Amino acid sequence: MATPIKIVNTSTNPLPAYATDGSSGLDVRAELKEPLVLESLQRTLIPTGLFVEIPEGYEAQVRPRSGLALKQGITCLNTPGTIDADYRGEIKVLVINLSGEKQTIQHGERIAQLVFQQIEKIHWQLVEQITETKRGDGGFGHTGKN
C-alpha cells in the first residue's frame, strides 16, 4: 500500500510521477520563467514549485537522473540530498554542469528524482569498546582493485 504524502504544487508542471511501474524515484521538473543556461562547472539551485509534508519517520532523497547525467553531464550535488520530515519550504534541486560546454535546462524538464525512504531513529549507547570483526579498521580501498 502506498504511503500518502501531502503536496502543494505551485508550478505549471504535473505532479512528480514514476516513469515506469518499477521506478523507485518520482521525476521532478524544473519550474523556470525562462530557459536556464549552465556554464561548464557552474552550479545552481533550480526551483520546482513543490512543497511537501513528509510524515514523521520518513525522508525524501533528491537524486540525479541518469539520462540527464549521461546526455548533458548535469547531475545533482550533495547526492542524495535529504529532505527532512519537518521541512516545509519549496523543494529546490542543486545541480551542476560537469560537461565541458554550456547546457540549457528548459521549463518543465525532468531534473531529478525523489525517493521516499522510511528511517529509524537511533539512540547512542556509550561503551568503552566495540566488537572486533575480520575487517577491523580497513577502510577506503583496503580490499584491493579486484
Residue 142 lies in a domain: no
Residue 138 lies in a domain: no
Provide the CATH number for the domain around residue 92: 2.70.40.10
Residue 130 lies in a domain: no
pLDDT for residue 137: 85
Q: Comparing 8 with 139, which gets the higher pLDDT?
A: 8
pLDDT for residue 6: 97
pLDDT for residue 33: 97
| Number of structural domains found in the chain | 1
* pLDDT tens track for 35-63: 999 999 999 999 999 999 999 999 999 99
Residue 142, pLDDT above cutoff 80: no
As a whole number, mean pLDDT of residues 97-107 equals: 98
When pLDDT is cut at 50, 70 and 90, the band that residue 146 belongs to is low
Residue 129 lies in a domain: no
Residue 131 lies in a domain: no
Model-wide pTM > 0.85: yes
pLDDT for residue 15: 98
Residue 63 lies in a domain: yes
Q: Flag the least confident range among 24-33, 60-69, 127-136.
A: 127-136
Measure the CA–CA gap between 145 and 27, rounded to whole angstroms: 35
Residue 20, pLDDT above cutoff 90: yes
Task: Work out the mean pLDDT of the chain and round it to a whole number.
Answer: 95
Residue 21, pLDDT above cutoff 80: yes
Residue 125 lies in a domain: no
Domain that holds residue 100: 6-118
Residue 95 lies in a domain: yes
As a whole number, mean pLDDT of residues 76-93 equals: 96
